[in-house]
Chain A
């Protein structure tokens, strides 16, 4: 499900679990988006250390997020060291906000069901 479809689903009043965006909900990608959101601009190595991932694994997830237009990847040099910086795009910010909102709705729904 794309972020736009997820938002549409949430508006239509369907179960919050169905409105979760698969691209965003995958836990490593959700972690990447969260770190990038807080850091505003995160370096590849920082993401790798913080999320405790291998370079290959992180690279694959970044490619998925970049193709979905949720992150922007900027490559450059600092002195002679190659550096890769990741920033959230406005779509990424929206998708993360929507994911957190859906999770909160899910929790609310579970708690309401438990209380009934």
Chain B
């Protein structure tokens, strides 16, 4: 082998272009964004099934004002705080393991610690919010979030709940991963995910449980988005790798 094998020929422009090509090669080897997207997609899809299996109805006193004796309402509940906490933790652990394993196997570093820390913080916030949400017994009553009183039907309350849900637990760590991977495509994808998670507040298709399969409308779109993203990023990675190895 000679020096000629390094793609950095003569002129300053060619040298800079060669450095850019080297950088692209290394990035192609470093990135595996499809793994977390696939795992998050599967966990979100599983949330639909968990929602169906945990769906139940309760008869509770009607909220707001003094009710007539014997006046009751039906409260529908679904979802499992334990599922989301354990599922997302498992997804983060598996992603971290994969990145570290791959880093050793391919001989190229990836600082995965910020992603793991962001994920752990996000899952902790999600767990606290979900467990707390499940412990709010009175439907329609104002919510007490550590002394902060939020009107149950206010859009701001829904926004806070949703942000502390999937948006923060998946979207924010994906942004951190995009920063680590130096991937503009993943950053845009993560912003798209945040938009999907937060937009329903405006359009109103997200809300309380209304039937056994209402989790489908809540989690179906984000799951499909994540799984499609996993497929597209995997294909892009596959296309970039042989070029990188060439």
Contacts and interface: CB of A to CB of B under 8 A. Distances in A.
A6 to B, nearest CB: 15
A19 interface: no
A110 B29 CA distance: 35
Interface string B12-53: 110110110011011101100000000000000000000000
B109 A40 contact: yes
A47 B29 CA distance: 12
Nearest to A44: B107
Interface string A100-116: 10011011001000000
A38 B3 contact: no
B110 interface: yes
Interface in A17-63: 27-28, 30-31, 34-35, 38-47, 49-54, 57
Contacts of A11: none
Nearest to B22: A34
B104 interface: yes
A31 B17 CA distance: 12
B6 interface: yes
A93 B243 CA distance: 27
Contacts of B110: 40
If over half of B's interface residues share one DSSP class (helix, strand or loop), that class is named, otherwise mixed; here it is helix
A100 B19 contact: yes
Contacts of B3: 27-28, 57
A83 B5 CA distance: 24
B12 A39 contact: no
Interface centre among B3, B12, B13, B107 (most CB of A within 10 A): B107
B106 interface: yes
A47 B7 CA distance: 13
Interface in B94-135: 104, 106-111
A34 B23 contact: yes
Contact of A35 (B1, B15, B26, B106): B26
A31 B4 CA distance: 12
B240 interface: no
Contacts of B76: none
Contact of A34 (B19, B29, B104): B19
A50 B12 contact: no
Contact of A28 (B6, B13, B19): B6
- 4 tightest A-B CB contacts, nearest first: A43-B107, A41-B109, A46-B107, A52-B5
5 contacts: A40-B109, A40-B110, A42-B108, A44-B107, A46-B107
Interface of B: 1, 3, 5-8, 12-13, 15-16, 18-19, 22-23, 25-27, 29-30, 104, 106-111, 245
